[in-house]
C-alpha cells in the first residue's frame, strides 16, 4: 500500500485543503493497452473497469482529493453480459466493474491527488506482485518524471513466487513479518531485491519509500500504459 501508509494530513491544514479541493478540477487519466493481448483494466475508487484490446485507450476523470486509488490490468478474464465472471490475475470479486482491490499478483499504479502542500503522490507498486508491465507518467503541468516497470518479471520469477499469469510478492506467499513488515526494522530481502533490481522505480516491499514515491503539482493529468516489452 506504500504511499498511503506514509502520508500524514496535519489538522491545521485540513480546512485549507478542503477549500482547495472544492476549487480544483478533476485529473484526466488515460489508460492505454500497448500489450499485444487483451487486458481488462481496473480502476478504484473511480472508474470501475473496462476491456481494452491491443491499442485501445480508456479515459477517466478523477475528482480532486481522491486518495488510496489504484489502477491495474487484469488478465485471463471471462465475463458474461451482466459483467459477472472471473480473471486469472487481478480479479476483483468476479466483477467487470471493480468496486474493490484486485487479487494478487497484479502490478499497481497507485496515486493520491491534491494531498499535503497540494501535491499529487504516485507510484508503481509490486507489493501485490506483478502480472503486466506498466508505465505511469504525468502528461501536463510541467511535470515530466514518468516511472516504469517493464522488465520480464514473469519470465524470470523465482520458483517460490511463481503464480498462474504472474509473479507473487513474497508477502503474498509467506505472510510473515520478514516480508510484510510495515514498521520497525523493516528492510529489503533477497526476494524484494529481485523486484527492485529489475524495476528500480517501483515499490518492492512495504517500506520502500525513498526511491519509489513521486510527486507532481495538484491538477496534473496522467497516463497509465500497459506496456509489453
pLDDT at 24: 64
Below-50 pLDDT ranges, the chain: 1, 4-23
Q: Which residues contact 102 (CB under 8 A, 6 or more apart)?
A: 42, 72, 74, 87, 89, 90, 91, 92, 128
For residue 222, what is its C-alpha cell? Answer: 496522467
pLDDT, residue 138, reads: 98
Q: What is the pLDDT of residues 54-81, one digit of tens each?
A: 999 999 999 999 999 999 999 999 999 9
Least Cα distance to 2 among 177, 158, 178, 127 occurs for: 127
Q: What is the DSSP string of 142-204?
A: T----EEE-S-HHHH--GGGEETTEE--HHHHH-SHHHH--SSS----HHHHHHHHH-TTSB-
What is the C-alpha to C-alpha distance for residues 103 and 90, in angstroms, rounded to an integer? 5
Amino acid at each position: 500500500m506504500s504511499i498511503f501508509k506514509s502520508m500524514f494530513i496535519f489538522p491545521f491544514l485540513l480546512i485549507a485543503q478542503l477549500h482547495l479541493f472544492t476549487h480544483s478540477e478533476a485529473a484526466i487519466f488515460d489508460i492505454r493497452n500497448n500489450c499485444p493481448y487483451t487486458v481488462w483494466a481496473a480502476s478504484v475508487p473511480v472508474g470501475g473497469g473496462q476491456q481494452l484490446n491491443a491499442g485501445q485507450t480508456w479515459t477517466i476523470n478523477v475528482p480532486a482529493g481522491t486518495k488510496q486509488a489504484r489502477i491495474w490490468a487484469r488478465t485471463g478474464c471471462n465475463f458474461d453480459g451482466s459483467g459477472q465472471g472471473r480473471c486469472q490475475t487481478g480479479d476483483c470479486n468476479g466483477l467487470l466493474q471493480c468496486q474493490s482491490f484486485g487479487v494478487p499478483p497484479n502490478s499497481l499504479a497507485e496515486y493520491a491527488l491534491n494531498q499535503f502542500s497540494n501535491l499529487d503522490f504516485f507510484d508503481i507498486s509490486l507489493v501485490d506482485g506483478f502480472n503486466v508491465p506498466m508505465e505511469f507518467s504525468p502528461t501536463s503541468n510541467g511535470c515530466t518524471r514518468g516511472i516504469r516497470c517493464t522488465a520480464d518479471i514473469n519470465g524470470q520469477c523465482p520458483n517460490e513466487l511463481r503464480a498462474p499469469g504472474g509473479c507473487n510478492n513474497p508477502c503474498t506467499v509467506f505472510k510473515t513479518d520478514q516480508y510484510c513488515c510495515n514498521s520497525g526494522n523493516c528492510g529489503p530481502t533477497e526476494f524484494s531485491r529481485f523486484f527492485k533490481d529489475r524495476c528500480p522505480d517501483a515499490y518492492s516491499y512495504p517500506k520502500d519509500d525513498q526511491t519509489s514515491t513521486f510527486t507532481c503539482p495538484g491538477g496534473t493529468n496522467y497516463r497509465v500504459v500497459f506496456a509489453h516489452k
